[in-house]
Structure 1
């Protein structure tokens, strides 16, 4: 410490000789001040130029050292100044009492220079460390406060960005669904609509990655366990990537051991996302060779993992891509971090693997990667699953609703959304089915419409930008007249789900699919629909994005085809040979263009299972 930064020591003693001796011991290392009066010492101690340490004689006129120390320790400004009492060697009681009133230490008379300097030096070091700790604690508190403010700002930013991105995306995806389902449109237009929809889905996945990571960081992700068909899930996910793999001349396989159960209870949505993330990376980065998804009940890559209370399901995704270097593999599961290869492709957010790891851990498992440069990469993970009774499994029906069954009351639905495009989209979904619709752009007007029109259900935009909609929902819900009216909150922000559910009856996130809307309406007002005769599709994820209906093709249509085309098509379907099937379908199109396009659609989606079922009926 420089001379300008010397510690200040105050010596308080009514005997000049003691002041002289102690000053002589300390003046070379410290800035020394002295006082022969207790009152004066208190003034110095509480001044702006307060001492860093006080040497205080016990026996003082007017006010003794113990009382001086009590006063110092009772004052918020001076309580942290260490006090070393000056006492006689034999005065044990003084030493004990000194500690009781807050003294830090003592020095004895007659003075020993080494003892005095050692005790002063030690307590100044302790005091310095205490100040450092207090400063660090203050800095940590300020940093925590700054982090909390930043986190809140991030949440608000994400909520706003979620709204700004999801609102137009909701319109894009919604109207592309309507166009794709419009049978009166030429097939070329419907295919264009499907391309728009796929691009929108890709953008939605990127947005969801960012929001999923934010929810994970906030600890707001939970498990949603249900019984599902594991075998079908695996086949469905692999089929999603088969076309991309074939475009790159890659072999894509799925294998599972005989002991892997078909039906399990776990979080199907999260498992689906994990596998999609891993397979997507494998197809993206592999230039030649093969990709294999393996599923088993035992795996040697996790030898230390033993749990007798639950079943563990193991997955491996192996590819023959360029591999991952050791220095990069350590950061693979960090958010927004991409490998050099990933950066070169300029695709994705760098969140797929971090999200997958969090989901795997949430499902009671772990994930790891093993890679050999230029040879292969294997991502392995396991999750905990429960046995499931197949009798409780209910496949999802990807049916299309065409109307309301007759004999029901009039169902009035009020649509509240500040965006006219979103209102128009909802009307386009609901009005053709038979619902009576009115609309409002704000909460205040919605309350007025509700009062005189008495809708049975309200679809209400409740995002942070919505004008008074939460207040309107509360006002409507608080009315005793509205016992049978249901309010479904619609918002683009995943951060507002809790608030929406506290005020409303249910929650619908944007972008939404028409099947989601119809299912929510049915759940709350028990409406009965007319369904188009459809094929049950276990791969449907509930968002209605993969609709396979009887308009695709049926046995009666196939029966009309000549045998010289029908028989080889059946053989191609049985052998799941897409190349041969497409060759035959090109001949069918020459005779029956509509049926040919329907068959081509099934083959392009690798739905040979549907073709095989139809042939069984012939």
Structure 2
């Protein structure tokens, strides 16, 4: 990088130069040369110069060496050992011209060295060059600090030679506190784990090839942060010394979103597979029911007067029951499909729970009697609930129908309703074949891998009704609960919000 030729057009926004010399004539001479191009601060005291440097933060200090009270060397050392002023470039302007003086000046951090008497153009050029380089360093500092990710470089010995604010803050330090030192230890309670991919991040120090590694940081509270770290080897400008640039991006949110997307995709695939299997089963059941009706009607038509009235009535009753099952299946399918597309209207109103349960029991009585099962209502007082009437009837019809399906003839199904806090607790209790804990868990988690189930007389079920019932119960703010043991029956329970009684 080369400094531009010095000209006035480049000094539109004047840089601040602090000139320190105990000789007033020297100060006046330097001021005469620099004043047209820079904003000048003049002092003859080394101590005052230190004070001004902290307060004003000049762009450059022109510093004499031989001064009373404190030498220019001491002033420079104090400034360079202070994190608040170490970045300010210092040019020594002095009559001392011995080699050892010049070497010492650079050893303690001087940016340049000009001997008196100086040449005007040389002074302007050197001052311009140092300020130009200093400003470029500031711009570079601003750029790397704008990078939101951890960015730092290490030399071959592992010492940090460049770091941005994000890197320093990660270690709960300031940039100046980590430069020139090995990478700091992690904050207390944190643990690091590097996930090595042999293709992207082969084992090694990273000084020979580009690497992309995933790093896991375990925080003291047990949470994890995820980082993608790119390690890029390079050579220091003007040298053959190897170094390593590292950029670590926090990808925790991205990783969590990706995991959520994967989870949703998996659910979508499972749901799609379930839907396909479910529709196949329903279509098969509908065909069987309609075909059974067709056979019954054809038998009546073809047999004519050869079959008895009792046989005709039996076939008609069979067709009626098949038609009822078909309607129930179609109704559940319609409600389920509407629920999937969120087009079911949830319209809760104040209802007499007792009246709704009595109406349901009346509708289900024929199905229970056909199976030889008793249906009993045990209601506790008059309960008013806030519920969607159609959804409530669908829930109860499916739960009671399910209980009938898995009950042996001669058994009893009991429907109970009791107040519990601000809820009405409704249970459907059967004395049927019961279920294993695995089957209960499968139903509650809507695990549809095994969709088909069979009742005590071979009645086929798809699980559609229970799935739909759970969705409707949840719309009322409740959850379906199941208690069951093989051979000991099952209890299906849910709650509805009670209507507050008026005084």
TM-score bracket, normalised by the shorter chain, equals: 0.3 to 0.5
> Which protein has the bigger strand share?
2
> Which protein has the bigger helix share?
1
Query: Which structure has the larger Rg?
Result: 2
| Relative contact order, higher structure (CA 8 A, sep 6+) | 1
Normalising to structure 2: TM-score of the pair?
Answer: 0.37
Normalising to structure 1: TM-score of the pair?
Answer: 0.31
